[in-house]
């Protein structure tokens, strides 16, 4: 078996994979990306995963265990929600599906939980005690709860109710884009969202990830909350790195 477990990040537009050096928390070989099939049914995604794995030699993940992110609640490998993916995923044992497709051990994990594991081990939340909430701002809002570095899985805090609305439909980056919000107006919505989480959970730190975190300097200083709030460090690498950690039994 290769020393490098393989991380796979299943997203709405692309499925990305790379072997991960767990000592460094970084890719051990170049990342490979394939467009997400439409519709992204379980069988179609499994076929893409098998194709992705053929890109890696045995020295760079070819014989390694596989960790795969899924944008939904995952309990013991079984997907039980599908807010932003094809509804046919509900009830699917994703770990077993991916193992059959690849012939290798495979573990599935919620995508935000994977990002949280990566940020806690290698990134912005490394060494942080107490309760950390990692959020990923994208099509929806993913969340990971980590207490003294230990993951509490499937928190799904993107779906907290704010003024009668699903929080992520009002405050996710997709809402900023579709409504053409200014950074200031979006920051005001994020302030309301993160204050709601503060009232519910009283965290010690917020870590803000997702692709838009590369623009953190344009909106995060305007988010007015009492809790320290900082950008993620691993950004778009976090899902792959966290999935590989999970596959290796470290998360």
My answer on whether 225 and 243 are in the same domain is no
Asked if residue 122 belongs to a domain, the reply is no
* Residue 231, number of CB atoms within 10 A of its CB: 20
According to DSSP, the β-strands at 6-10 and 66-70 are parallel
My answer on whether 148 and 88 are in the same domain is no
Give pLDDT, residue 251. Answer: 67
Asked if residue 147 belongs to a domain, the reply is yes
My answer on whether 54 and 147 are in the same domain is no
Q: pLDDT band at residue 12, thresholds of 50, 70 and 90?
A: confident
My answer on whether 11 and 100 are in the same domain is yes
Cα gap 134→152, rounded to integer Å: 11
Give pLDDT, residue 143. Answer: 98
My answer on whether 226 and 155 are in the same domain is yes
Apex 207 CA angle, 126 and 114, nearest 5:
70
Q: pTM of the entire structure?
A: 0.93
Instruction: Report the b/e string of 181-210 with b at 16+ CB within 10 A.
Output: beeeebbbbbbbbbbbbeeeeebbbbbbbb
Give pLDDT, residue 46. Answer: 95
Asked if residue 119 belongs to a domain, the reply is no
Is the pLDDT reported for residue 2 higher than 60? no
Is the pLDDT reported for residue 58 higher than 70? no
My answer on whether 146 and 199 are in the same domain is yes
My answer on whether 147 and 182 are in the same domain is yes
Give pLDDT, residue 64. Answer: 80
My answer on whether 157 and 178 are in the same domain is yes
Cα gap 61→28, rounded to integer Å: 9
Cα gap 222→186, rounded to integer Å: 9
CATH code, 40: 3.30.420.40
At 177, list the tokens: 């884009």
- Count of the separate structural domains present in the chain: 2
What is the percentage of the chain residues whose pLDDT exceeds 70? 96
Q: Give the pLDDT confidence of 216-250 residue by residue, as tens digits.
A: 999 999 999 999 999 999 988 999 999 999 999 97
Cα gap 23→20, rounded to integer Å: 9
Is the pLDDT reported for residue 1 higher than 50? no
Give pLDDT, residue 159. Answer: 95
Give pLDDT, residue 117. Answer: 98
Asked if residue 150 belongs to a domain, the reply is yes
My answer on whether 188 and 137 are in the same domain is yes
Asked if residue 242 belongs to a domain, the reply is yes
Q: What residue has token string 């998360």?
A: 251
* Residue 22, number of CB atoms within 10 A of its CB: 19
My answer on whether 242 and 226 are in the same domain is no
What range does the domain containing 90 cover? 6-114+237-247
My answer on whether 144 and 90 are in the same domain is no
Cα gap 132→144, rounded to integer Å: 8
Asked if residue 120 belongs to a domain, the reply is no
Asked if residue 162 belongs to a domain, the reply is yes
Asked if residue 198 belongs to a domain, the reply is yes
Q: What is the mean pLDDT of the chain?
A: 93
Give pLDDT, residue 151. Answer: 97
What is the percentage of the chain residues whose pLDDT exceeds 90? 86
Mean pLDDT of 16-38: 94
């Amino acid at each position: 078996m290769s020393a490098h477990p393989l991380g796979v990040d299943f997203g709405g537009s692309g499925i990305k994979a790379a072997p991960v050096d767990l000592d460094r928390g970084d890719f051990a070989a170049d990342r490979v990306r394939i467009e997400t099939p439409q519709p992204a049914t379980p069988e179609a995604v499994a076929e893409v995963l098998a194709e992705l794995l053929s890109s890696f030699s045995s020295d760079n993940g070819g014989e390694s265990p596989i960790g795969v992110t899924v944008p939904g609640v995952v309990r013991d490998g079984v997907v039980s929600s599908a807010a932003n993916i094809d509804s046919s995923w509900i009830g699917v044992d994703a770990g077993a599906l991916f193992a059959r497709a690849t012939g290798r051990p495979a573990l599935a994990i919620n995508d935000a939980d994977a990002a949280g594991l990566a940020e806690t081990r290698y990134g912005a939340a490394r060494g942080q005690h107490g309760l950390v909430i990692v959020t990923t701002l994208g099509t929806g809002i993913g969340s990971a709860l980590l207490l003294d570095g230990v993951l509490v899985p499937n928190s799904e805090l993107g779906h907290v109710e704010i003024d009668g609305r699903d929080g992520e439909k009002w405050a996710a980056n997709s809402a900023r884009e579709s409504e053409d919000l200014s950074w200031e107006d979006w920051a005001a919505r994020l302030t309301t969202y993160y204050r709601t989480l503060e009232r519910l959970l009283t965290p010690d730190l917020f870590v803000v990830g997702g692709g838009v975190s590369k623009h953190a300097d344009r909106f995060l200083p305007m988010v007015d909350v009492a809790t320290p709030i900082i950008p993620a460090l691993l950004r778009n690498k976090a899902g792959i790195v966290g999935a590989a950690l999970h596959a290796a039994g470290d998360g």
